[in-house]
Amino acid sequence: MDRNEKNPHTEGKGLRRREFLVTLGWSALFASMASTAAWMVRFLFPNVLFEGSSMVKIGRPDDYSPGSVTYMEENRLFVLRDDKGFRILSAVCTHLGCTVNKDAGSNSYSCPCHGSKFDGNGRVARGPAPKPLQMFDITLAPSGHMVVDTKKTVPRSQYFTV
């Protein structure tokens, strides 16, 4: 039987094998080109994470009595005031980011998630936390409010005095 002659056994059965494979190949090519074009268009729009300001107003110096430790829940910070001045201690555990609590009746902090303990200066007393709690910089705004920069860490020996 010649190639150009119609075979009565395949007549009316739809696509032949070659036509099916060619259609499948072209479909795959166009699908890959379309997905590549979609990713190229997506690349034009950056992933931007809009975070709040790293500057936090914590009140006036007179709002804190000497020897006090004040927890600021919305910012996860402890405001420490003693006879040397002010310090800001992060309440974020350096192990997995849980919020640490001030231990009642003692000058220490504990993480409820995995049991890390920190002393009154935020240094690790018992693991698994790998690093001490961070201390942040404090400045005085023209309005008289203290402002904490949570992006700027300072050494434990640094105090803010009014």
Q: What CATH number is associated with residue 126?
A: 2.102.10.10
Tell me if 33 is assigned to some domain: no
Residue 37: its pLDDT value, please? 93
pLDDT, mean of residues 17-33: 91
Q: Regarding predicted confidence, which is higher, 142 or 3?
A: 142
Using a 10 angstrom Cβ sphere, with 0-12 exposed, 13-18 middle and 19 or more buried, the burial of residue 125 is middle
The amino acid occupying position 99 is T
Residue 144 lies in a domain: yes
For the stretch 85-125, pLDDT in tens is 899 999 888 888 888 888 887 888 998 888 889 988 888 88
Burial 76-106 (b: 16+ CB within 10 A, else e): ebbbbbeeeebbbbbbbbbbeebebebeeee
| CA nearest to 135, candidates 106, 113, 157 | 157
Burial of 35 (0-12, 13-18, 19+ CB in 10 A): exposed
CA distance 65 to 68: 6
Q: Is residue 64 one of the residues assigned to a domain?
A: yes
Residue-level pLDDT at 8: 57
Is 29 within the bounds of a domain? no
Name residues whose C-beta falls within 8 Å of residue 101's C-beta, 6 or more positions apart in sequence.
Answer: 109, 110, 111, 112
Flag whether 32 is in a domain: no
20 in any annotated domain:
no
CA 13 to chain centre: 60
For residue 56, name the pLDDT band (cuts at 50, 70, 90): confident
Q: Report the distance separating Cα 28 and Cα 73, nearest Å.
A: 54
pLDDT of residue 25: 93
Residue range(s) defining the domain that contains residue 98: 55-153
* 82 is a domain residue: yes
Residue 11 reports pLDDT greater than 70: no
Please give the share of the chain, as a percent, with pLDDT higher than 70. Answer: 91
Q: List the Cα angle 86/89/93 in 5-degree steps.
A: 175
Least confident of 6-10, 46-50, 66-70: 6-10
How far does the chain reach from its first CA to its final CA, in angstroms? 104
* pLDDT at residue 6, rounded to an integer: 60
Q: Give the count of domains, the chain.
A: 1
Order of strands across the sheet that contains 101-102: 101-102, 109-110, 117-118, 124-126
User: How large is the average pLDDT for residues 135-150?
Assistant: 90
The pLDDT value given to residue 18? 86
In a domain, 24, yes or no: no
